Amino acid sequence: LLIFPGKIYHVTTYQAEAIICRLLNMQLRKVLVACGEVSGDQVAAAITRTLKTLGIREVHGVGGPLLKKEVSGTFLDAAAINKYGLVEVLPSIFAAKALVKQTVNLAGSERVDAILTVDSKGFSFRVHEAIRNSLSSIRQYHIVSPSFWAFSNGRQRAARLKDILDKIFVIHRFEKSFYDSIGLPCDFVGSLAVQRLICEDALGVRSHVHSKDIGGLFPGSRDHEIESTLPLLRELFGRNRALYACSGFNESVDDVSVWREVKESVYEDEDRKRQSKYDALKQLQWAVCSSGTMSTELASLHVPQVVLFKPHWLTALAVKSLAKVKYVNMINILASKELIPEAKFGDCTPANVRRLLEDALNRTTQVDTIRQVGSIVASEMVPFDAHCDDVGHWSCQNNPLLLPELVAQSVV
């Protein structure tokens, strides 16, 4: 019997289950969101927040402090495996194996209906393999594609994902064609950080003041990234009171002891620290950063920058031998030329970074460079209509759907 106010219906068990699920608007469904590194914590948190607004009331999580605030169920801390590379991950390999096992056990014990992993391919794909083998009824999703397309053996490695994923969400448009060609369902959702900055810039006015007075340091979000660039940053800047050390944009980074150490060696403007991320970035006249999301955000706002890439020498050797691309920065890869100066491998020295920064201050102010960077960002990193003018100001369509909404709606 299915009883409503004033009415009684005789239905089968199957019919009742279907009706109840519709009435509860998917509130009986459970989702596990897992993120193995700091750089994906904000994306995981934003998607989780959106899932709850769409009626998924029970969300379990594996990740960092931002995701922890959003989950409504069980949470596992992933801080111990915040590594990337070949040699760099070795010290945390046992912790990673343990977390994979705990994540799979969590998915089974809570009987989740779907799992969404964010970035961190080593951790994420091991979780998906284990779940596919033992909990095959769970729907499996992943967001942020590894750079398979950049390596000679990448296509073969990417094809294996068809056996463990139901769908992959990618942040660059060209990646959709890559996965479509191997038969893995794929949605292009764009870069969340870039989308937000473009939308904010479209609502305000950004003035370009080309001075060397204020700069930004962005050493990365992974422990070993910060450790490898720490000596270089010290030698480059020391106690330079004109330097703005930007760290407060990611709460997880502030917890890293080596980053606290570098913050003590530079001057941090407390007024700017209290500003929003966008307000602070748009005032920078230059920046030095590790390759990644922050570099793309700075490029979208046309802040002169130098990109650092200084992995362990064994990791560097493997990258050089297998990579099909010449650059590490995504803007440069998409442009097939160096629009943004890169200091990588053995060239990542203080003297070279200084020289490249001078070049960046001259190059980024050129209208042609602004046009090229704006065109690449608009076509490859945002899933809505956006345009950058000749002075670097963005405009976009009203109320566009951003990455969290696109991913959450697809999962639901």
Determine the Cα–Cα distance for residues 29 and 27; give it in Å rounded to an integer.
Answer: 5
Q: How many whole angstroms from its chain centre is CA 60?
A: 20
pTM of the model: 0.78
Burial of 148 (0-12, 13-18, 19+ CB in 10 A): buried
Q: Rounded to an integer, what distance in angstroms lies between the CA atom of residue 34 and that of residue 153?
A: 27
| Residue among 268, 276, 258, 273 nearest 219 (CA) | 258
Distance, CA of 151 to CA of 157 (rounded, Å): 10
What's the pLDDT score for residue 246? Answer: 46
Q: Annotate 70-139 with DSSP letters as a single string.
A: H-SS-EEE-GGG---SSSTTGGGHHHHHHHHHHHHHHHHHTT-SEEEEES-HHHHHHHHHHHHHH-TTSE
87: Cα within 13 Å, side-chain hemisphere: 13
Closest Cα partner for 290 from 378, 211, 375, 219? 219
What pLDDT, on a 0 to 100 scale, did the predictor assign at position 17? 61
70 in Cβ contact with 45 (< 8 Å): yes
Question: Is residue 131 within 8 Å of 115, Cβ to Cβ?
Answer: yes
Question: Residue 91: its pLDDT value, please?
Answer: 52
Output the pLDDT for position 16.
66
Sites in the chain below the pLDDT cut of 70: 1-7, 9-28, 80-92, 203-213, 220-225, 230, 237-279, 291, 313, 315-316, 318-322, 363-365
Q: What is the pLDDT of residue 251?
A: 43
Q: Which residue has the tokens 């990673």?
A: 96
- CA dist 324 and 79 (Å) reads 32
Q: Which of 261, 265, 263, 303 is nearest to 281 (CA)?
A: 303
Chain mean position to CA 283 = 23
